Amino acid sequence: MPLYWIIAAPLLAAFAAPHLVRSAGSRAAGVALSAVPFAIAGWLLSEAAAGAAARVASHDWIPSLGVQLTLLVGGFERLFLLLVSFIGGLVLIYGGAYLDGDSKAPRFFSIVLVFMAAMLGVIAADDMILTFVFWELTSLTSFLLVGYKFQDAGARKAALQALLVTGAGGLALLAGLILLTQITGETRISALAAHSETIASSPLFVPALLLVLAGVFTKSAQVPFHFWLPGAMAAPTPVSAYLHSATMVKAGVILLAKLHPAMSATPLWGFIVAPVGALTMITGALVAVYQTDLKRLLAYSTVSVLGALVMLLGFGDAFSFKTAMFLALVHGFYKGSLFMVAGTVDHSTGTRDVRSLSGLRLRMPWLALAAGAAALSMSGAPPTLGFISKELIYEAKLSLPIAHHLVTAIGVLANSLTVAIALIVGIRPFLGDHGTAKVRHHPGWGLVLPPALLAFLGLTLGLFPGWLDAHLISPAASSLDIDPNQAKLYLWHGFTPVLALSVATLAAGFFFFKIRRKFEMAAHAMDKIHFITPTALYLTGLDGLMKCAAFLTGWIQGGQLRIYVRVTLGAASLLVLYALYQALGEFSLSSQVPLKFFETMVVILMSVSAIAAVLAKSRLAAILCLGGVGYSVALVFAAYGAPDLAITQLLVETLTVVLFSFVILKLPQIRNISRGHTRRWDALIAIFTGLIMTAVVWKAVHVQMAEPISPGLVERSATEAYGRNVVNVILVDFRALDTMGEILVLALGCLGVTALLFRKRRPHVPHDRRGEHEAATMGETPAASEPAP
């Protein structure tokens, strides 16, 4: 099986999905489509069972940038690919049943399958740019899925929030990966490990690390970026079960693990990663326990587990690393299961409020069993997978070289809160008598089987930890150069301090469950400081950005011509000033053409006329001044070897003055409208622009960027084009196409003038028709008698 198929197959299925849903209904489509991820999972499992070596597929994508379509599937990738594809298959079945009859179901399947492809890509990609592309694709599909109920303003807002937070993190990640490439010259993540010394000693190491971590922390919802994850619960529950528990949020953890060998060589890694993870772990658990919405409870507890994963990777030792791999696997099983249970409860009763749910086991016994099994695993009761992972975590914490008491204490607290959450979500709604929420309809098997299967696996695999260890966890560790023999998975470790901690955790968890109402009171007290929460800061920031944009747009695009001119001239002049400053030393005052009396007088006349045109109060005086400028320019052309220019300029200038004189009498007298203050500012900008342009011309006179082409034109003028006036030959022969364009512009100008002046007038503007006709004729005449070059 070529490696690319693991990404191509879900993508192809995404194209087929809408058609399938429309023709066969969403239940059947879900089952049919789940064959794709299950096939991938089956292949991965056979590879794992056979202990196959890592597979690599590589193909050039953008060779000039060294970007390749490189996929690498080793032990580590296999573990996570298996998790994503297996749970993905179950989610497709579950989603088909959940969204039965929903008109947007085709969209759901397409996007989930694209997401699946992207997620498999993030895991398998070895090229950095390819990783980034898939990474962003998961953010985009997450945006579409969170905003699935797009009629709902809250869902749209949550989708945007998820996109902005993870998208910003994605950009940081890209910058970080590029820095890593610059340090090492490698574009493959797996090749970075060999350069860990170079990376650690590089001055770019700290920025690279911080940027990469920014990407990882936003994606994996670490404090203070955790707030988007509970918001993302606006998505339909199958999406939450898949993206926001089992897979997408783990993308950060996966990348962190992949970069672990390359970047964990310095203490800085542990100093940043471990505390952030610990803080997230405890924050998530504390906030989760007082929630009343099933999905929010689960969302915050996911934040807590992600924190634990990041913390374990931050410890950096082999034992913790392997523990993290195991925890990621276990968490995928029980959290996916519990999310689906929550969705089924919501689907059947119409509510997710734990306060009104009770006695559900009476109507939904199978679901109750599934929920109970998943909750057991989540709370870490023996003999589940959760129990083994918790034992391992405590062992990892106790063996820390520093601060192990503090870390273990935080861990016990977070874990006992997790136990309480497991009881609230997985046990409490099913016990007791019928609650206020009624079961409106029985869930079909499609809503019960997937969570039950996941929960059952979590329960039974706990009995065979050795198999998991040998075929999945240890290969995962050793493929990232971690010694797999550091930690062995056992169900029974014997009577150790770790076991005592486990028992204490369960007891404390039960205690917290009993007093959970007290947490709600604490939560109300916390509301007083809501304005400093990350959510509030995000909203303030977004609001500020919008206001800033509105202000800036209003300021530089005020809708008035003079403001546009002012901004354009000012900005352009400042930019040119900067460029001139760079070339300050290269100015020269040397002159090849000597100053002569006649020409000097002409130039002075030109300048004085221009200034007089500005100051003129009378229309006719202004026009005469402009004529003075125009004729002076013609004289300059004549003096410096350009008779054609001089003739044309004289002609055009005469026409302009005549045309203007006719028209201007129809226009009002010149007057000052702006205030004196504004005029002074404008004068300042204008003088500044003038000075800058003077400097530019001054510089340009002495710059010769390339070999001039004029000598060649002169040489070929008589011999090839049979013309002796080189300027004319250029216009009608060498650059004839230009001249044709110029004639076109004239024709268009002529048309425009005609359209403007001969337009049928609306009756309510009484007006002199004859004069206008005359002006139009004037406008046309010169265009028609365009000076033949």
Partner 1 sequence: MENLLPIAIGILIACGSYLCMRRNLVRVLLGIMLFSQAANLLIFTAAGLSSGQPPIIAPDKLTIAGPHADPLPQALVLTAIVIGFAVLAFAIALVLRAYHKTGSDDLDTFRRSDS
Classified as helix, coil or strand, 71 is strand
Nearest approach in angstroms of CB 581 to partner 1 is 18
HSE of 94, CA atoms in CB hemisphere, 13 A: 32
Cβ(128)–Cβ(189) under 8 Å? yes
Q: Would you tell me how many other CB atoms lie within 10 Å of the CB of residue 554? A: 11
- Adjacent-strand bridge partners of 56: 72
Spatial neighbors of 182 by CB under 8 A, at least 6 apart, are 204
Q: Which is nearer to partner 1, 267 or 594 (CB)?
A: 594
Classified as helix, coil or strand, 56 is strand
Q: Which is nearer to partner 1, 8 or 614 (CB)?
A: 614
Question: What single-letter DSSP state applies at residue 434?
Answer: -
Nearest approach in angstroms of CB 710 to partner 1 is 5
Nearest approach in angstroms of CB 596 to partner 1 is 8
Nearest approach in angstroms of CB 753 to partner 1 is 4
Q: Which is nearer to partner 1, 481 or 780 (CB)?
A: 780
Cβ(141)–Cβ(119) under 8 Å? no
Q: Which of 780, 784, 719, 786 is nearest to 752 (CA)?
A: 780
Distance CA 782, CA 756 (A): 17
Nearest approach in angstroms of CB 717 to partner 1 is 6
Question: What single-letter DSSP state applies at residue 761?
Answer: P
Nearest approach in angstroms of CB 36 to partner 1 is 55
Helices (H), 57-204: 75-98, 105-124, 128-146, 153-184, 189-192, 196-201
Classified as helix, coil or strand, 61 is strand
Instruction: Give Cα 671 to chain centroid, integer Å.
Output: 53
Q: Which is nearer to partner 1, 438 or 702 (CB)?
A: 702
Nearest approach in angstroms of CB 637 to partner 1 is 7
| Type of residue numbered 69 | L
**Residue reference for tokens 């209003």:** 554
Please state the φ and ψ torsions of residue 724, each to the nearest 5 degrees.
-110, -20
Contacts by 752-756 with C-beta closer than 8 Å and gap 24+?
A: 753/779, 753/780, 753/783, 754/779, 754/780
Nearest approach in angstroms of CB 657 to partner 1 is 10
**Residue reference for tokens 């100051």:** 615
Q: Which is nearer to partner 1, 393 or 729 (CB)?
A: 729
- Adjacent-strand bridge partners of 125: 71
Spatial neighbors of 663 by CB under 8 A, at least 6 apart, are 775, 778
Nearest approach in angstroms of CB 666 to partner 1 is 6
Nearest approach in angstroms of CB 553 to partner 1 is 15
Q: Which is nearer to partner 1, 508 or 616 (CB)?
A: 616
Helices (H), 527-642: 534-556, 561-582, 597-615, 619-639
Cβ(416)–Cβ(347) under 8 Å? no
Q: Which is nearer to partner 1, 552 or 691 (CB)?
A: 691
Question: What single-letter DSSP state applies at residue 533?
Answer: S
Q: Which is nearer to partner 1, 272 or 685 (CB)?
A: 685
Nearest approach in angstroms of CB 552 to partner 1 is 19
Nearest approach in angstroms of CB 577 to partner 1 is 14
Q: Which of 338, 340, 350 is nearest to 425 (CA)?
A: 338
Nearest approach in angstroms of CB 549 to partner 1 is 21
Nearest approach in angstroms of CB 674 to partner 1 is 5
Q: Which is nearer to partner 1, 50 or 584 (CB)?
A: 584
Q: Which is nearer to partner 1, 210 or 659 (CB)?
A: 659
Q: Which is nearer to partner 1, 178 or 613 (CB)?
A: 613
Q: Which is nearer to partner 1, 338 or 606 (CB)?
A: 606
Q: Which is nearer to partner 1, 229 or 629 (CB)?
A: 629
Distance CA 657, CA 664 (A): 10
Spatial neighbors of 258 by CB under 8 A, at least 6 apart, are 76, 189, 190, 480
Judging by beta carbons within 10 Å of its beta carbon (0-12, 13-18, 19+), is residue 30 exposed, middle or buried?
Answer: buried
Q: Which is nearer to partner 1, 529 or 697 (CB)?
A: 697
Q: Which of 573, 576, 592 is nearest to 584 (CA)?
A: 576
Distance CA 565, CA 560 (A): 9
